Structure 1
Amino acid sequence: MSKDEALFILQLIGGPKGGGVKSGGGAKGTGKTIHGETRANQRGFSNDKINDIKNNYSHKVYQSGGRTVYAKKNGNYYDVVVINRKGEVITTVGGNTKSLKTWKDVTKMLNNQGGFSSLPVD
Structure 2
Amino acid sequence: MRMLAALIAMLLSAPVLAQSALPPAPYANRQISDPAQERKAKALMETIRCLTCQSQSIADSDASLAGDMRSQIRERIMAGEEPEHIRAWLIERYGDWVSYEPTADPILWPLWGAPVLLIGLGLLVLRGRIRRKRS
- Superposition TM-score, scaled by structure 2 size: 0.35
Considering fraction of residues, name the structure with more strand. Answer: 1
Considering fraction of residues, name the structure with more helix. Answer: 2
- Superposition TM-score, scaled by structure 1 size: 0.37
